[in-house]
Amino acid sequence: MKNRIFGLETEYGLIFTPHGKVYLPMEKILGYVFEGLIPNSWPSNAFLSNGARFYQDTGCHPEYATPECDQVFDAVVHDKAGERLLERCLPVAQKRLQEEGLSGDIYIYKNNTDSMGNTYGCHENYLMRRDVDFWKVTEQLIPFFVTRQIYAGAGKILKVAGRSHYFISQRAQHIHEKTSSSTTSSRSIINTRDEPHADAEKYRRLHIIVGDSNMSEYATYLKVGTTAIILAMIEDKFYVDGVELDDPVKAMREISRDTTLKKRVRLEKGKEMSAIDIQRLYLEKAKEYLSLVEEDPISRDILERWEFVLDELSEDPNRLDREIDWIAKRGLIQSYMNKKGCGLDDARVAMLDLQYHDINQDRGLYYLLDRGGMIERIAAEEDIQRAIDSPPQTTRAKTRGDFIRFAKAKNRSYTVDWTYLKLNGYWEETILCMDPFSSENVRVNELIAAAEAQK
């Protein structure tokens, strides 16, 4: 696979359920959660020793941004590490409640909507070449993103005209534009924000806000992997022709509402195609493209899984209840409704919909399926646990993690961002790190070596 930097930013839902008549602002609850990660402080923006960033987003959401990854597998693992880190915070947050004489339960959900109809996102980032025509990129990627939800959607019960329906995607109903610079007021399929956190003459960042947050590692792997392959194709001017949609936003919502996957959406030239058919066009072009470049095991694996998923979706989507979130969750809900003799409007079913996304492994329904051997995994748990403390070893994140560990060991005040490292106070020093592919920095290595020599 072409060398590229990936990253995922996940905004989490936060709920406090009091025992009795207790009111606490969510800012205070979020402060308790942050204390579980960084004791005795409440930073609004903290970089961690694994190179990731943990911070408060708009709407009082805890947000976790993975470190820079140059392998799809690493992006999956570090995305899961974010879940585990937040899960670790919960006992500390609960203890802080008790210390203040308060009683209640704190829940953190990896989903995209709340009970009031608000949405929060899972943003994907792909470093791409600056010299590529960005509008050609959007033209090629929009049909892909509109239809990708059939295997990347997280599923959601929504009311339409007073009746509850099960939708494939949580985010689809909240997208209003094809392209936009905003991530809140006019959410778009492709965001035009241009912050590469790298050499701006060589790179730009493709910022995607249309996707759902996935509990399934398989779905995350496929979501990021297929996008990376399509982006490489576009950079090499290998295009998929004739798939431009007449109304992409409308098509996205229509596809999300049709769990049979039979809905055909209208293309610009008047033809109609299903989401599966459009995805197959991208798949076939990707096969052709990869046959002309140096093949690698990761790209081959992604293509095989992609084809397998599209074949299963064509035959019987229910066969993918181990791999795809919206199908796994729908199976749980359907089983419950059959057992209880209720429908989608039942409040208990709405709770199931939410509980699937609970990151607490003792409570979350996704993890109930996982413990029962009913989920297809990509990563081993030891990989995820390692990623909690250790950054990818082949990107800039390694330098950042090394620097943070050094500064903490020396009890030095420091400031960190994506592109620089700074020692504060006496002998103040700023170290620029503009190359996200570089895992070593001479000055950081000198600081660490000097510290080792003084032991």
Q: Which residues are catalytic, by number?
A: 57
Which residue type is seen at 314? S
Query: Which of these, 82, 49, 50, lies nearest to 65 by C-alpha position?
Result: 82
- Could you tell me the two tokens for 272? 């109609």
Helix (H) or strand (E) holding 254: helix 248-257
DSSP labels for 23-75? ---HHHHHHHHHHHHSTT---SEEE-TTS-EEEEETTTEEEEEPPPBSSHHHH
Q: Which two tokens stand for residue 67?
A: 């470190």
132-164 burial, b for 16+ CB within 10 Å, e for fewer? beeeebbbbbbbbbbbbbbbbbbbbbbeeeeee
Question: Alpha-carbon torsion 361, 362, 364, 367, what sign?
Answer: positive
From first CA to last CA, the distance across the chain in angstroms is 43
Which burial class, exposed, middle or buried, applies to 453 when counting CB atoms under 10 A from its CB (0-12, 13-18, 19+)?
exposed
Contacts of 426 (CB under 8 A, 6+ apart): none
Going 154 to 157 to 158 to 161, the CA torsion angle's sign is: positive
Tokens 């004739």 label which residue?
242
Report the alpha-carbon distance of residue 243 to residue 59 in Å, rounded.
Answer: 37
